[in-house]
Structure 1
């Protein structure tokens, strides 16, 4: 375990193997007219929940890709209200987790590549893709693929881009940066809060990956849409500064600010400078 920073911004990192849990339950999520069923852990989600329900529900913020995070709910709410931006597009999602955002996008896009670095998460991600594609009521229009991608891993990224030499129209991400919590939060939630323990070094690697994806698709004017939930001031600063350091422009999307379980969230649009 590692702790850094002051009272407000302590970082708690625990090895992810300590938190492996495959007790998934089929859960229903609603975003506008879109209803999505998928397998996930229940500790940060309740059945039949959308953005409004999520804001008010109790949650113990396990930091793992096996469940649905507030940022994903925020992003899906935004995308469901702006579905025209998805029509006929090719999309790659970073840190897809259980796949709730990619699956929503598949109802409007022509192609969706969902990625994650964790083998356990990839298993449940593929299971949810199969569930969605096999459903009699499936509204899937796009081809769905799950690929392993660790930020900063050029070999894995190049392998994906071999099948997409001109890149993607959109890059998506929600709650994919390092998760930070305080000891005070641990006491309040009366639980351990897992950190995938990318450490702060994951943020430069994230934007390394984003910069390359945007660069490959420069002619398409590709954008990175990031749903960000603030958990510590140090991370707020780091995300902005790293985007700028990579020569990217990062702007808040007007009207997307929301408070989710006492956490401030917003959707950012990131483009090449």
Structure 2
């Protein structure tokens, strides 16, 4: 992450209760330095009737993987969840900045923690695992699936949101990811009509994964 935290611009996210969450992004840096559309779609999905407009998240323990700015995890914490927001160590200062910026509106708890997929395991007592636009680098796909699996209990729900990309090796990465996921999880795509009315797109998908039960 090459840019200084002094060089940021703010993305405002209006909640359904008309509160404004402010997410700092970096003017220069890696892909994790900005709020991607998939993060907005997943964030706003948490406020839909599927989650009783956010009420079902109150008191739930949530892990966000590959958080970048921390946008999704901060929205979950705003809705009352206890969230551990993670990414590579270089991104933790940006996540902490955004937690601090929004602390007056956060009703749950937040913790920014470094987590390297395939190496670190924080806990496996999470009700939900959230990830947005993490299917990106070929060398990280297996490690991402390992991180998801390592942090799941039998009843953990994983919400994976990603923008479908058709250039370069991206379609193959998506196929590889889902092949690995299918070996360990039941998968279900959330219908587009259940996404937020305004924050939805036909090329942005939300999937729910639940761990396969061993018979």
Name the TM-score class by shorter chain.
0.7 to 0.9
Of 81, 84, 90, 1:113 maps to 84
Match runs of 1:94-109 below 5 Å:
94-109=65-80
1:175 corresponds in structure 2 to: 133
1:205-254 Cα distance to aligned partner (Å, 9 max, x none)? 1111111111xx22xx1111011111132123122111013x11121012
Deviations 1:146-201 (A, max 9, x none): 11001101xx31xx22xxxx5111000001121xxxxxxxxxxxxxxxxxxxx413
Cα deviation, residue 118, structure 1: 4.0
Instruction: Output aligned runs, 1:4-43, within 5 Å.
Output: 20-22=2-4, 23-33=7-17, 34-41=19-26
Correspondence for 2:44 among 49, 64, 77: 77
Contact 1:91 1:109 in 2 (8 A): no
Contact 1:259–1:265 (8 Å) recurs in 2 = yes
- Note the C-alpha offset of 1:63: 5.4
Q: TM-score, normalised by structure 1?
A: 0.66
* Mapping of residues 192-211 of structure 1, within 5 Å: 199-211=137-149
Q: Equivalents in 1 of 2:36, 2:89: separation in Å?
A: 16
4+ long deviations beyond 4 Å: none
Bigger Cα Rg: 1
Mapped to 2, the partners of 1:63 and 1:235 lie a distance apart of 19
Is the counterpart of residue 249 in structure 1 residue 186 in structure 2? yes
Q: Show the counterpart of 1:196.
A: none
Structure 1 residue 26 displacement after superposition: 2.8
Structure 2 unaligned runs (5+)? none
The alignment partner of 1:92 has SS state of strand
| Count of residue pairs brought into register by the alignment | 196
Q: Secondary structure at the match of 1:201?
A: helix
TM-score (norm 2): 0.83
CA RMSD of aligned residues (A): 2.1
